[in-house]
Amino acid sequence: MRRRLLAEFLGTALLVTVVVGSGIMAQTLSPHDVGLQLLENSTATVFGLAVLIVVLGPVSGAHFNPVVSMADWWQGRQSGVGLTAGELASYVVAQVSGGIAGAVLANAMFDKPAITWSTTDRASAHLWLGELVATAGLVLVIFALTRSGRTAAAPLAVGGYIGAAYWSTSSTSFANPAVSVGRAFSDTFAGIAPASLPGFVAAQLIGGVVGLVLVHGLFGRPAAGTPEPVIPHPDSR
């Protein structure tokens, strides 16, 4: 379990480092072109996420996202394979801690104060809807792969989905409470004001439920021994 928690902490930290760091770099390289900044930021995120899933998936499953872990716990109640309630709590703590650490690291690498609270307001109903859609789609992609026995495609599919959602959702697809919390610690391109977090996290949690409902509608109840998301790992129950 210690190794799994380290993998979740490290994976979430590096994911946020990629998101925040590439956002800072994009602002530096393309200071007058927001569209190009988003392209640079999303491209780095797609590749970074795919690599992290490949490298750390065999250790912890490569959730890096409390919504994915919660969905895994819920599915495991029916399939017998998934996180226990205690493991879920530990995963969430590791992920949120990793998200904060990743933002602090990115700030430090670009010679900014370790903690600079974001002032980017993202508190609007259309953005919350975007987050709901982005998170529901992410859960649908991940669990459709596990339910159909195609988890080997997860790095490509998950990375590709997040890249597409960057451009097709109004919120630019945070789709992750731990990443959202981490991004509040950096007043840069990828930041979100702390006051905007409750709405985003609520939308993400609702999106996770919607995604699971869609998965159940498409595939029915999970059978015993259904693989864990995102990548099955040796410690699966």
Mean pLDDT of 94-103: 98
The whole model's pTM is what? 0.94
Residue in this structure with the two tokens 């430090």, named with its chain if needed? 108
pLDDT given for residue 235 in this prediction:
63
Dihedral sign for Cα atoms in the order 15, 113, 5, 190: negative
- Residue with token string 């998301």: 229
Q: Name the CA radius of gyration of the chain, rounded.
A: 17
228 pLDDT higher than 60? yes
| Average of per-residue pLDDT across 160-172 | 97
* HSE toward the beta carbon, residue 151, CA cutoff 13 A: 19
User: What's the rounded mean pLDDT across residues 57-76?
Assistant: 94
pLDDT, tens only, 178-192 = 999 999 999 999 999
Residue 119 corresponds to which tokens in the numbers above? 């002032």
The pLDDT score that the predictor gives to residue 11 is 98
pLDDT above 80 for 227: no
Rounded to whole angstroms, how far apart are CA atoms 71 and 58?
Answer: 19
Alpha helices (runs of H) in the chain, residue ranges in sequence order = 2-29, 34-60, 66-79, 85-109, 125-147, 154-168, 177-183, 197-219
* Torsion-angle region of 152 (φ positive above 0: left; ψ -120 to 50: alpha; else: beta): alpha
Instruction: Please give the pLDDT value at position 223.
Output: 78
Using alpha carbons only, give the angle 139, 211, 49 rounded to the nearest 5 degrees: 15
Q: 135-144 burial string, b = 16+ CB within 10 Å, else e?
A: bbbbbbbbbb
Domains in the chain with CATH codes: 2-219 (1.20.1080.10)
Report, as an integer, the average pLDDT of 91-117: 97
Residue 225 has pLDDT above 80, yes or no: no
**Tens of pLDDT along 17-42?**
999 999 999 999 999 999 999 999 99
Collapsing DSSP to helix, strand or coil, 11 comes out as helix
> For every residue of 19-61, which 3-state class applies, written as one string?
HHHHHHHHHHHCCCCHHHHHHHHHHHHHHHHHHHHHHHHHHHC
